[in-house]
Amino acid sequence: MKQQSAQDRWEQRTQRPLLGLAVAFAVAYAVPIVWPEADREVTSWCTRVEWAVWGLFALDYLVRLVLTERRREFVRTHWLDLCAVLLPLIQPMRLLRLVSTLLLVGQRARMAPQIRLTTYVVGAVVALLMFGSLAVLSVERESPEGNIRTLGDAVWWSFTTMTTVGYGDHAPTTGLGRMIAVGLMLSGIALLGVVTANIAAWFISRFESDDVEERRQTAAIEALAEEVRALRAQVAALSDSASVVAEERLS
């Protein structure tokens, strides 16, 4: 067995706690949006939880950076994580913190060896649907011409956007809302691609078994094996007659 590096062990052990933190972040993000008339204290606690989760993911990045052997390569291959850590420091606003934490969770999830691409994309799509709905709701509710004002409308709009149906009965009117919408559209296209590719790969893996050229090859190899078996029999007969000669000669 290959010896695990300190970095690998850290990543395996923190996998589950970080997933728990992501759920805590989701709750803390959802509460003030879904329940806008909440107590001031609840809202401020939620903000603190959000920052704490971002901080712990940033800490996780630093620990992995310290534990790794080739630091320069780590920074280069994990540039997206670095951006996600630094982003909310530049301009401390709600939306950037959301994007940062989603990016950090996504990067850690992709690292988990037991998660396949399909699972990853489906998970990302569900997370984007959920956070997209909440983010659009919080942005559009404050806009005077906005037409997305309840959680139900926001979720419904997210679905019509991500499946590229786009009825147009609800549509974002603010710049931020539209940026979120573009994110949902692009993930919808990715989702469609993964669904199609999965079905296609499964179909083709079944078609493959009927390859004509390969069957001809198998037949050719079997004919060759028959030929070699006949040759062995010939050589065995020759060997017998030779030993008869030899024995006679010795007698």
Of the residues 66, 83, 126, 237, which one makes contact with a copy of itself according to CB under 8 A: 237
Alpha-carbon Rg for the chain, nearest whole angstrom, is 31
CA angle 154, 158, 159 (to 5 degrees): 120
236 sits near a copy of itself (criterion: CB under 8 A): yes
DSSP secondary structure string, 70-134? -HHHHHHHTHHHHHHHHHHHHS--HHHHHHHHHHHHHHHHHH-TT--HHHHHHHHHHHHHHHHHH
Q: Is 144 in the site for a copy of itself (CB under 8 A)?
A: no
**Cα–Cα dist 148/137, whole Å:** 6
- Are 125 and 115 spatial neighbours (Cβ–Cβ below 8 Å)? no
Q: Report phi then psi at 5, rounded to 5.
A: -80, 165
For residue 246, state whether it binds a copy of itself (rule: CB under 8 A): yes
Supply the minimum distance, in Å, between the C-beta of residue 72 and a copy of itself. 25
For position 1 contacting a copy of itself by CB under 8 A, the verdict is no
Q: What backbone phi and psi angles, to 5 degrees, belong to 39?
A: -55, 150
In the complex, least distance from residue 135 CB atom to a copy of itself, rounded to whole angstroms: 16
Q: How far is the CB of 137 from a copy of itself (least distance, A)?
A: 16
Residue closest to 107 by CA, chosen among 4, 182, 15: 15
| 40 binds a copy of itself per the rule CB under 8 A | no
CB closer to a copy of itself, 5 vs 239: 239
Decide if residue 218 touches a copy of itself (CB under 8 A).
Answer: yes
With contacts defined by CB under 8 A, name the span among 9-17, 27-35, 96-104, 223-231 that binds a copy of itself.
Answer: 223-231
Nearest to 21 by CA among 48, 47, 45, 49: 49
Closer of 57 and 131 to a copy of itself (Cβ): 131
* Minimum CB–partner distance for residue 128 and a copy of itself (Å): 14
- Closer CB to a copy of itself, residue 32 or residue 177? 177
Task: Identify residues 98-137 at the interface with a copy of itself (CB under 8 A).
Answer: 117
What is the footprint of a copy of itself within residues 156-215 (CB under 8 A)?
A: 156, 159-161, 163-169, 171, 175, 178, 181-182, 185-186, 188-205, 207-215
